[in-house]
Structure 1
Amino acid sequence: MRNTVLIPTYRRPQDLLRCLSALQVQTKPVDQAIVVVRDTDTETWQFLSQFSPYNLPLQTVTVTQPGVVAALNAGLAAVTGDIVSITDDDAAPHPDWLQKITAHFQTDGCIGGVGGRDWVHRGENIEDGSCSIVGRLQWFGRVIGNHHLGIGEPREVDVLKGVNMSFRTQAIGKLQFDQRMRGTGAQVHFEMAFTFALQRAGWKIIYDPRVAVDHYPAQRFDEDQRQNFNEIACTNLVHNETVVLLEHLSPLRRIAFLFWAILVGTKDCFGLVQWLRFFPSQGTIVNKKLQASLRGRWQGWQTNQFKIQNQASGTLPYPHKI
């Protein structure tokens, strides 16, 4: 099987160098490496002009729109491999990454997606915790990630993580990443809509902790600054999660999700219970977190309803099975 690796990048040439260097030493050679670069990203273009692509069939794709969704969709249009493996520019795949990914797809023709663990580096330290529950969607709509902590044997999951996910191009077909995802950079939860769509079409999604990358979380150049709270970033995150889950869940589960999300929520997407829980330790900033979360839920509901109304009027086509 031919392997394509797809890497969206923006203004992080040193991180990109580490990523490309890791791809040059894969035990199963890369057949096509696509780097998607913003037209205004002079730092990356200068780096690529000087980079020696030894043992790496490197191809660049230019994108003019901000955000990871536009970058990945532009890259997908250029994919020629049987498998497309997506990682971030601030990650370095382990040498046997492609070899283990390919083995899964060759073993079972019903597998549509494969992901694995990202070993998160924080300076000199590596997050080495362990968790057996990874990438699961609970019946009422709570998503459990933990991809960076996964242990155990390969198993079916519901969600993969964008830094380490691969797909059978036959399974993808004409599927694209959801352009309704908000954000000018990271666009959190963009991968959820993609993997859910493959699941609904009958494809298996596999998580294997041994399919690994080293992840060095780098600076972001948008409103989402990872550990620092930003109202716009929080609203976008909650909006994206709401849009994806309202589309994926059955009508009864949608109702359960909305009640749970507003009344309880999570530490990243506040509901009333989380607001009460964190008030003693975080103070009045929890008011902003709750407001941003509720705003995101409402905007996500509006986005979902807008699509339904347009489909009913014939403005938009109904989703087709892949």
Structure 2
Amino acid sequence: MQFSLIICTYQRPKALLNLLNSIQDQKMYPNEIIIVDGSRDNKTKDLVQEYKFENLYYFKVEDKDRGLTRQRNYGISKVTQDSEVVCFLDDDTYLKKDYFKNLIEVFKRNQEIFGVGGVAINENRWIKKDYEKSYSNKKYFEFENYVVERGSRHILRNHLGLGSNKLPGNMPEFSHGTSYSYPLNGKFYEVDLLIGMSMSFRKQVTDSIKFSTYFEGYGLYEDADYSLRAIEFGKNVIATNVCLRHFHEATGRPNKYNYGKMVVRNGWYVWRIKYPKPKLEARLKWNVIIWLLIFIRLGNVITTKKKKGAFTEALGRIVGWFSLFLNKPKVER
């Protein structure tokens, strides 16, 4: 099964080299690796020229194609017609040796699956359930003989009756779901949402739909938008044996104020992709949770060392919420 890999990068040559080294050690190697570089310097270009990686094709883009969604669309336009699967990886990830082998096997086993996401093992907090212990439903989430401790935000939401009754990766009508992924048990689970750090689609999907240019620049939640629209072709799944590490490289990220605005505005956009006309109760819950998260970030001004970041992000969220009354995003399906 021929497959292509697209890696969009911006000012992260060291992180990219780390990823490429992990790809070189794979049990199954991509038929082509397409690097789409939006960097404003030549450090990434120099790196690619210095280290010779098999089947690698490098493209440096200018302003009109710069930004995550535009770079992904540019990469899609360069994929060979013979490819059957198109993979996307963030440039700050590192793959286990059987990543592609296990990924392609998922596509081979089930023709109804059109999108596959992997799991970041360094962020996975699931543990085997100890049957001699009792686990509070408010504090823990239990699933298939595993448990994961809920974050403080989810605990508070549960106490207030604002928790999601959907499995991880699936969006409730009020949008705010859970982000626990799934236990590393080798199974795969059907979901609505795939995460951009590790997602792959059959080429029928990438030939038919492109990443929305609404998500300019950093492109927060562009992966959610794309995976929701991809469901019209078939199932999306999280495969728990498709494993990597995700390091969240700080370079190239937006400031906290802009990030806060994007969380609200882009979150609203993705919500309306899945639920164009949510019920009144769902609308109320969405807004209440937005403000709950704003107050939590304001509280972080006192409880964390990164006080300025917490305050400016909260301010961005507030501005983003009020901006929805004046200028709602135009949702494109």
Q: TM-score range by the shorter chain?
A: 0.7 to 0.9
Sequence identity percentage:
19
CA RMSD after TM alignment? 2.6
Equivalent residues in 2 for 1:115-194 (5 A)?
A: 115-120=117-122, 127-130=123-126, 133-147=167-181, 150-152=183-185, 153-182=187-216, 184-185=217-218, 187-194=219-226
* 1:143 match: secondary structure: coil
Which residue number corresponds to residue 213 of structure 1?
Answer: 244
The structure 2 residue matched to 1:83, chosen from 69, 80, 85, is 85
Q: Quote the residue 1:227 is aligned against.
A: none
- The residue number in structure 1 matching 2:109 is 107
Moved over 6 A (4+): 284-287
Match of 1:268 in 2: none
1:301–1:213: structure 2 CA closer, same or farther, 3 Å change rule?
A: farther
Asked if the contact 1:84/1:169 (under 8 Å) is kept, the reply is yes
- Is the alpha carbon distance of 1:278 and 1:96 closer, same or farther for their aligned partners in structure 2, counting shifts above 3 Å? closer
TM-score (norm 2): 0.77
- Tell me whether 1:261 sits opposite 2:261 in the alignment: no
Partner of 1:101, secondary structure, is helix
**SS state at 1:219 partner:** coil
Matches within 5 A, 1:253-292: 253=279, 255-265=280-290, 271=291, 273-276=292-295, 282-283=301-302, 289-292=313-316
Name the residue aligned to 1:312: none
TM-score normalised over the length of structure 1: 0.79
What is the distance in 2 between the residues matched to 1:92 and 1:281? 31
Cross-structure match for 2:97: 95
Contact 1:2 1:82 in 2 (8 A): yes
Amino acid at match of 2:320: G
Question: CA 1:260/1:169 → structure 2, altered by over 3 Å: closer, same or farther?
Answer: same
| Mapping of residues 180-259 of structure 1, within 5 Å | 180-182=214-216, 184-185=217-218, 187-199=219-231, 201-224=232-255, 230-253=256-279, 255-259=280-284
Give yes or no for contact 2:170–2:192 (8 Å, CA) kept in 1: yes
Instruction: Describe the shift of the 1:69–1:62 C-alpha distance in structure 2 as closer, same or farther (beyond 3 A).
Output: same
Deviation at 1:62, TM superposition (A): 2.5
SS at match of 2:94: strand
Aligned residues: 285
| TM-superposed deviation, 1:143 | 3.1
Deviation at 1:100, TM superposition (A): 0.9
Give the conservation status (yes or no) of the 8 Å contact 1:83–1:166.
yes
SS where residue 155 of structure 1 aligns? strand
Which residue identity is paired with 1:217?
H
For residues 277 and 39 of structure 1, what CA distance do their matches in structure 2 show?
35
One-letter amino acid matched to 1:157: V
Pick 1 or 2: higher relative contact order, CA cutoff 8 A, min separation 6: 2
Kindly tell me: are residues 4 and 287 of structure 1, through their superposed partners in 2, closer, same or farther at Cα, counting changes over 3 Å? closer
User: Secondary structure, in 3 states, of the residue corresponding to 2:33?
Assistant: strand
Residue 177 (structure 1) shift: 0.9
Once the two structures are TM-superposed, the CA of residue 220 in structure 1 deviates from its matched residue by 2.2
CA distance in 1, matches of 2:60, 2:299: 48
| 8 Å contact kept, 2:2–2:84 | yes
Judging changes above 3 Å, is the alpha-carbon distance between structure 1 residues 59 and 11 closer, same or farther for their aligned structure 2 residues?
same
- Encode CA deviations 1:268-295: one digit per residue, 9 max, x unaligned: xxx1x34555655534977755542243
Measure the CA separation in 2 of the matches of 1:91 and 1:275.
Answer: 30
SS in 1 for 2:320: helix
Q: Where does structure 2 lack aligned partners over 5 or more consecutive residues?
A: 127-140, 144-166
Residues 197-252 of structure 1 show CA distances to partners (whole Å, capped at 9, x for unaligned) of: 011x141001111101122221222424xxxxx11211022211111212320413
Contact 1:136 1:159 survives alignment (8 Å): yes
**Structure 1 gap ranges (5+):** 121-126, 225-229, 266-270, 308-317
Q: Rate the CA distance shift 1:239–1:24 in 2: closer, same or farther, 3 A.
A: same
Q: 1:119 Cα shift?
A: 2.6
Match of 2:321 among 297, 302, 313: 297
Q: Determine the C-alpha separation between the residues in 2 that align with 1:129 and 1:87.
A: 22
2:57 to 56, 59, 80: 59
CA apart distance, 1:146? 2.7
Q: Secondary structure at the match of 2:121?
A: strand
